[in-house]
């Protein structure tokens, strides 16, 4: 079984620039999550999709972050404009259904200078 | 508001001995708890879970204990091996709420010395 795929692995941008991350979940997984992990902290949920609908985006900074999951498969997370405090690892995860364990990708490490 | 806390940032044990990682939570609605292991430059990997209807779950060298009255859970690794050296995250969810959303602790870095 192929795992959760994320790209790019690393990204360095200057503040106020925009950036986008891509995620392809495990085939057949209906639920997709984006987490933000700041150095020294645990992952924090940004947004959760069930198929192509949003279940929870209560912690997504909507003034600068956006996410979509077209056709209920791949997902993209965008930051525009980026701030220094957005430097983190962005993890995508998927699960077969809402209450099964999450499978994580290897993440995208974002550095904002 | 840290709903899931891992108060020990790091733990060092000798190979072959027991490793005990601890986790506390504050939200009484949590009914499902998981442990994830994370190696550098990789995503977290699911290790073991426990439902609130149980107080113990075992999988090979890994055992998770849940004390609901104390809102405390622990992960025991016996015997510890050098390959177990990683960051361990405790996570919790409200399964009855049916969202699958996980709340993570800050992580504990385990070092197992040969």
Chain A interface, best mutation among B101, B103, B104, B106, by max A CB count within 10 A: B101
Instruction: Give residue A1's pLDDT.
Output: 67
Instruction: Give residue A70's pLDDT.
Output: 81
A10-13 vs A31-37, strand pairing mode = unpaired
Mean pLDDT across chain A: 93
Instruction: Using CA coordinates, name the residue in chain B closest to A57.
Output: B101
Question: Which of B41, B46, B105 comes nearest A42 by C-beta?
Answer: B105
Question: Which of B4, B41, B46 comes nearest A101 by C-beta?
Answer: B46
Ordered per-residue pLDDT tens for chain B, 114 residues: 789 999 999 999 999 999 999 999 999 999 999 999 999 989 999 999 999 999 999 999 999 999 999 999 999 999 999 999 999 999 999 876 666 788 999 999 999 999
Instruction: Give residue A96's pLDDT.
Output: 85
N- to C-terminal Cα distance for chain B? 38
B107·A42 Cβ contact <8 A: yes
Q: State the average pLDDT over residues A5-11.
A: 97
CA distance B99 to B30: 12
A11 near A109, Cβ under 8 Å? yes
A35 near A41, Cβ under 8 Å? no
CA distance A56 to A102: 16
* Residues in chain A within 8 Å Cβ distance of B93: 99
pLDDT in tens, A75-113: 999 999 999 999 999 999 999 876 678 999 999 999 999
CA distance A92 to A22: 9
């Amino acid at each position: 079984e192929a795992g959760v795929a994320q790209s790019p692995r690393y990204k360095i941008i200057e503040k106020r620039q925009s950036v986008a991350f891509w995620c392809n979940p495990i085939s057949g997984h209906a639920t997709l999550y984006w987490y933000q992990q700041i150095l020294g902290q645990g992952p924090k949920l940004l947004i959760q999709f069930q198929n192509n609908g949003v279940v929870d985006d209560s912690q997504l900074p909507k003034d600068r972050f956006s996410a979509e999951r077209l056709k209920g498969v791949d997902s993209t997370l965008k930051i525009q404009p980026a701030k220094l405090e957005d430097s983190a690892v962005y993890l995508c995860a998927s699960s077969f259904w809402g209450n099964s364990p999450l499978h994580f990708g290897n993440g995208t490490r974002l550095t904002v200078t | 508001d840290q709903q899931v806390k891992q108060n020990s940032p790091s733990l060092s044990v000798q190979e072959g001995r027991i490793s005990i990682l601890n986790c506390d939570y504050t939200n009484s609605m949590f009914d499902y708890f998981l442990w994830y292991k994370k190696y550098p430059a990789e995503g977290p990997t699911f290790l073991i879970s426990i439902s609130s209807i149980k107080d113990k779950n075992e999988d090979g060298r890994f055992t998770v204990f849940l004390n609901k009255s104390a809102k405390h859970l622990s992960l025991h690794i016996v015997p510890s091996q050098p390959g177990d050296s990683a960051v361990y995250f405790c996570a919790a969810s409200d399964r009855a709420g049916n969202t699958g959303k996980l709340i993570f602790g800050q992580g504990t870095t385990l070092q197992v010395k040969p």
